[in-house]
Structure 1
Amino acid sequence: MEEKQPEKQPKKKRRVLRWLIFTLVGIFIFAAFTVGGYAYYLYEKGEKAVAESYDAGRDVKSSLREEEVEPLEDNLSILIVGIDDSTERAQGSNHARSDALMLATLNNADKTIDLVSIPRDSYTFIPSVNYATKINHAHAFGGIDSTIETVQNLLNVPVDYYVEVNFNAFIDVVNALDGIEVDVPYDLHELDENDKRTVNLKKGTQVVDGREALALARTRHQDSDIERGKRQQMILEAITDKAMSTSSLTKYSSLITALGDNMTTNMSFDTMKSLFVYMQSGSPSIKSLSLEGDDDMSTGVYYYKLRQDNVLSVRQTLQKQLALPEDKEITLENSYLVDHVTKKDSASSNK
């Protein structure tokens, strides 16, 4: 079919996920633990920002759950989606492809977090269009609903919550912090947020501004999808380090505005506070998982073809983390190359 074009590794650094949840989420709450009237102002501002970012139309209960999860009581999952929602690329939020996909699974009993990054070019089935293609197309085809549906079909675990962030938030956040220090892996001559080739960086450790950080996060011409993910994690860690430093306390108002203007989520403010408590209690250990695959150009279009045995291993790890029945093998009935989740959901709803 001609494709339609829509317009176990060692435990990773804990601070990576602390950005994804703590900086995106906890920074709204952190003000409550500072002192004085400024703290109250920030707390109220954070609550207002989350309310404006809240997706009231998205059901919190996953289609793979019988009941809605309760933070601090149940094991749960959070999908973090980074999108390139630029008018210059003529996409808009409903048609933008996802540039970053990460699923975090939280186990309440042993206070652990498993984090898997999903390469954007992974070849998998997209239920909303009824054929397989790159997973980042799912968002262009059907927004966050299609993305969640596709991730559930790939990993065979429920997605309970999501946080969707416009990659252009990088610019506002990094600028609000007066830049971040990163190690640029190679000389870079890259497009800026307006698709103009104006970003020029030399190899080495240096302080970059928002537009330079975004270009470094997005570029994928000099290395692989996997290396791109590592660069993004490096940048997220640098943002976390700067945001959590005492010198940045006075910048929180600007950070809250930058994040609130570029974020959509189905988590309420109370849910975020619960997750903050989770992150603070017991210092949760974080394990990073990889979806392994091979480069494929056999059709003339580049795909990252996932290795079935690795997909099974990642599924089993996530299912165990969520205390769900584990897949014994990947068959025609549960393959990520066919629609097994929505059909199963439809069959159960018709009973």
Structure 2
Amino acid sequence: MANEIPQTRVRRRRRRSRRIFRAFMVIGLLSFLILGGAAGYFAWKLSDVAADTNETLERGKKSDLRDEAVDPKQDNFSVLFMGLDDRDSTLEGRTDAMVLATFNKDNKSVKMVSIPRDTLVNIPGHGEDKITHSHAYGGTDLAVSTVEEMFDVPVDYYVKLNFNAFIEIINALDGIEVNVPFDFTEQDSTGKHDQIALKEGEQMLDGEEALAFVRMRKQDPRGDLGRGERQQEIIEALIRRSASISSIRNYDDVLQSIEKHMKMNFTFGNLISLHRYTGSIDNIDQMQLEGSDTYLGGVYYYQPAEQSRLNIAANLHEHLEMDEETADNSDDSANAEE
């Protein structure tokens, strides 16, 4: 049974940030989107930042679901992006967004699935609970192992960051251009209601406005579908804006924000090798984990549909070519016996 969390804390947390399932997918992607023109002083600075933000998992470099560690330079791989509602540099507590992405080396494609923060899962050592609590209970390692168990897919790499990174990076880019579908108001990053007012039409958004753009849901007549399209637009806008180093006039600020508000197990070499995926804007497949609302012991959960979970797991497995890897290993074993 799920662990009980004081209801006042749950309600307060839910009011502030429950509806941002994919907002931080954007910032996770920035780790490779800004590499298009990496050279000279920028490359040196990025190398320094990569070293400062690198944090190896307790399990080591290899997932237990892998026969050997993978290398983004030559292998298919997966990344778990985690967004935390944490304003300082500790990067602790619950995750407000979790996105599992797989990358295929041959067709340079990316597949992503967003995991709602209230999704009911088995957290190793803690039983059934909301997936958002996995990071609070055991940090990055437990969050990674929870996702691996949920989809039976290895998590090779991770990137975790907070609201500050999202806002500061977009501000360092001097904003991003999007098409606001209609007038609406939304809370700001501190939880104050109706602080951000956006008008319909093409416009440049700063960091706070961009966060409101991807978070808003209740005022959208299309609900999650409309929000998903807005998040996709943010991703595309970031790619266009940050594809070249020449477009980042304040890249020192970008790197400083990443250094303060992000942790990952990518090395500098790993990041550079991800440059080949910067042209994948038209080859990103976003999958949705279907499910239903449920209450256990008076606590709200998102109950994933089993068939949807299995379909997504199979899709990610195929994208990583795990079946081919297993077959190759089996052939090698058979040949060795002969």
Shorter-chain TM-score bucket reads: 0.7 to 0.9
Structure 2 counterpart of 1:288, which letter? Answer: Q
Match in the other structure for 2:72: 71
1:119-163 superposed Cα distances (whole Å, 9 cap, x missing partner): 22222111141x222212212222211111111011111000011
Match in the other structure for 2:268: 269
Identity %: 39
Contact 2:187 2:196 survives alignment (8 Å) = no
Residue segments in structure 2 that go unaligned for 5+ positions in a row:
10-23, 325-338
Equivalent of 2:311, from 288, 310, 313? 313
Structure 1's 138 and 184: CA in aligned 2 closer, same or farther, altered over 3 A? farther
Q: For residue 69 of structure 1, give the secondary structure of its aligned residue in structure 2.
A: coil
Distance in 1, matches of 2:125 and 2:66, equals: 20
* TM-score, normalised relative to structure 2: 0.78
Structure 1's 215 and 119: CA in aligned 2 closer, same or farther, altered over 3 A? same
Aligned pairs for 1:83-122 within 5 A: 83-86=84-87, 93-95=91-93, 97-122=94-119
Shift in Å, 1:307: 1.1
Structure 1 counterpart of 2:308, which letter? Answer: N
Structure 1's 283 and 185: CA in aligned 2 closer, same or farther, altered over 3 A? closer
Distance in 2, matches of 1:246 and 1:153, equals: 38
Structure 1's 245 and 134: CA in aligned 2 closer, same or farther, altered over 3 A? same
Structure 1's 120 and 282: CA in aligned 2 closer, same or farther, altered over 3 A? closer
Structure 1's 237 and 57: CA in aligned 2 closer, same or farther, altered over 3 A? same
Equivalent of 1:293, from 249, 269, 291? 291
Q: For residue 294 of structure 1, give the secondary structure of its aligned residue in structure 2.
A: strand
Equivalent of 1:160, from 142, 156, 177? 156
1:61-111 superposed Cα distances (whole Å, 9 cap, x missing partner): 112122111223222111111111136xxx95221x212211111222343
Distance in 1, matches of 2:214 and 2:74, equals: 35
Match in the other structure for 1:24: 31
> Are 1:126 and 2:127 counterparts?
no
Q: For residue 71 of structure 2, give the secondary structure of its aligned residue in structure 1.
A: coil
Contact 2:187 2:195 survives alignment (8 Å) = yes
Aligned pairs for 1:1-351 within 5 A: 1=1, 3-5=3-5, 20-21=28-29, 23-28=30-35, 30-32=37-39, 40-58=40-58, 59-86=60-87, 93-95=91-93, 97-129=94-126, 131-185=127-181, 187-197=183-193, 199-205=195-201, 206-222=203-219, 228-244=227-243, 248-276=247-275, 278-279=276-277, 285-297=283-295, 299-325=297-323
Structure 1 counterpart of 2:312, which letter? Answer: V
Shift in Å, 1:270: 0.7
Shift in Å, 1:322: 1.7
Contact 2:82 2:95 survives alignment (8 Å) = yes
Match in the other structure for 2:331: none
Q: For residue 249 of structure 2, give the secondary structure of its aligned residue in structure 1.
A: helix
- Provide the alpha-carbon RMSD of the alignment: 3.1
Q: For residue 238 of structure 1, give the secondary structure of its aligned residue in structure 2.
A: helix
Residue segments in structure 1 that go unaligned for 5+ positions in a row:
8-15, 33-39, 327-351
Shift in Å, 1:271: 1.1
> How many residue pairs end up in the alignment?
304
Distance in 2, matches of 1:222 and 1:141, equals: 34
Shift in Å, 1:220: 4.9
Structure 1's 297 and 183: CA in aligned 2 closer, same or farther, altered over 3 A? farther
Distance in 2, matches of 1:187 and 1:19, equals: 25
